[in-house]
Homo-oligomer: A and B are copies of this chain.
Amino acid sequence: MSSPQPSALAPAPVALTDLLRRYRAVRQQTADLCRPLLPEDTVVQPMIDVSPPKWHLAHTTWFFETFLLKEYQPDYAVFHPDYAFLFNSYYNSLGSRVNRADRGTLSRPPLQDVYDYRAHVDAHMLTLLDALAGAEAALPAAFAELFELGLQHEQQHQELLVTDIKYILSTSPLAPAYLPADGQQARAAALPPVSWLPVPGGIHRIGYEGEGFCFDNEQAPHEVYVADFTLQNRLVTNADYLEFMAGGGYQDFRYWLGEGWDLAQQQQWEAPLYWTQKDGRWYRFTHHGLQPLNLAAPVTHVSFYEADAYAHWAGARLLTEQEWEIAARHFGAQPAGTFLESRRFDPQPLPVPAAPDQCHQLLGDVWEWTYSAYHPYPGYLRAAGALGEYNGKFMLNQLVLRGGSCATPASHIRPTYRNFFHADKRWQFTGIRLAR
């Protein structure tokens, strides 16, 4: 996503101990993700989409300080008066901020000060939670909603941390590993057979309708009509993609959208991001350094332009986001596991044998590019105040991605979740599924 997104629904009252436990767990998880980094790694911004990890650590903290402590703790003193300027992401409502492209020019405050900032805000947050929960049977609804959003927001940044760290380390010719390799990267895996699975059309209901949290862009739930369609039972693999490359996919403009072709020429794209060839063999840069390409694993780090060109080449097309959500429900898709926790930031091959009439890898492998613009759902309303800038203002010229990736927090993996990026982006775990 380009941005985190606000809650539309206040969660039901929960026990204080649960809140404290979740708060601590989410905050700890962010710090844990940064632990393998050196201070030097936390400062740089090798492209505009990537934020320095130090900035992520501070910005997620700023969110709690700005929206909760400053609002609900009467005599709260900010940790530092300049941090509101330094760590605001894009909220015009909240004043001026560092130009996004300049986040990587700031060496100060140092990393340790940011950790101190986190500790300061955490201490006050825990005190505040205690005080609010003690005063009433449940937290005030508005507070509870913002608190939930703060946690969800921080989890969104955890995924960005994972992908930004990968990009940062990739820029060095030293190909440093974020984590030691576990020895499983290079194993060959059999390719499961491809099949085309039918999904019946008609009027379907999409959008979030459950009890729990969702982002405002998943609402309002509404009816859509789609015709019958079929989709592939698995994601496009690295082996599939090598065929596209061998077949001249990057050399033939007829497969490409015009803007994509121009960009591919200008950037001299010849393979997905992070691929490199040595002695006639393909490797990928991963969180475990440079690794041989696993042919059976899903292809990832492709732009929408490449996904669409691949589909043209294959005589197929991408799904729309409506079709994807209908299919995910139709096949009862289940997430693959807990990724952030396991630190396996690499899409895995489909286990073989795979049930032939089952649709695999819908949730938690790679974000699947859909051919749907990221626009508001019918009945969508921007929130008032600063949170109205959370989602709504990005609803143009981006495409919806569905399904969650191996870097997505488990609680963010659900059939209605709408991620969104511009068509040229490649540094997220983005992949391809074909439809007809």
Binding site for B on A (CB under 8 A): 38-47, 54, 80, 82, 85-86, 90, 92-93, 102, 104-111, 168-169, 171-174, 176, 203, 222-225, 227, 253-254, 256-261, 304, 371-373, 375-376, 378, 388-389, 393-397, 423
Contacts and interface: CB of A to CB of B under 8 A. Distances in A.
Contact of A82 (B39, B41, B173, B227): B173
Contact of A395 (B224, B257, B375, B394): B257
Nearest to A394: B258
Contacts of A106: 44, 46, 171-172
Contact of A174 (B82, B174, B371, B372): B82
List the 9 closest A-B pairs by CB distance, nearest first: A373-B373, A225-B225, A46-B105, A258-B393, A108-B172, A39-B39, A41-B107, A40-B107, A92-B253
A44 B105 contact: yes
Contacts of A254: 92-93, 388-389
B107 A172 contact: yes
A282 to B, nearest CB: 21
Contacts of A176: 108
Contact of A203 (B86, B169, B225): B225
Nearest to A98: B173
Contacts of A224: 225
A258 B375 contact: no
Nearest to A371: B375
A257 B107 contact: no
A259 B395 CA distance: 10
Contacts of A45: 105
5 contacts: A40-B40, A86-B173, A90-B258, A223-B227, A254-B388
A133 B230 CA distance: 45
A257 B41 CA distance: 33
B394 A423 contact: no
A257 B394 CA distance: 6
Nearest to A395: B257
A169 B227 contact: no
Given A40-B108, A92-B253, 8 more contacts: A43-B107, A44-B105, A44-B107, A104-B104, A106-B171, A107-B168, A254-B388, A257-B395
Contacts of A258: 90, 389, 393-394
A375 B378 contact: no
A406 B264 CA distance: 38
Nearest to A376: B371
Contacts of A107: 38, 40-44, 168-169, 172
A287 to B, nearest CB: 14
Contacts of A82: 173-174
Contacts of A203: 203, 225
Contacts of A41: 107-108
B105 A169 contact: no
B227 A225 contact: no
A307 B110 CA distance: 36
Contact of A223 (B225, B373, B397): B225
A374 to B, nearest CB: 9
Given A222-B227, A371-B375, A40 B111 contact: yes
Nearest to A3: B258
B257 A393 contact: yes
Nearest to A373: B373
A105 B45 CA distance: 6
Nearest to A222: B227
Contacts of A256: 393
A83 to B, nearest CB: 9
A44 B253 CA distance: 30
A238 to B, nearest CB: 25
Contacts of A423: 396-397
Contacts of A86: 173
Contacts of A261: 92, 393
A206 B110 CA distance: 49
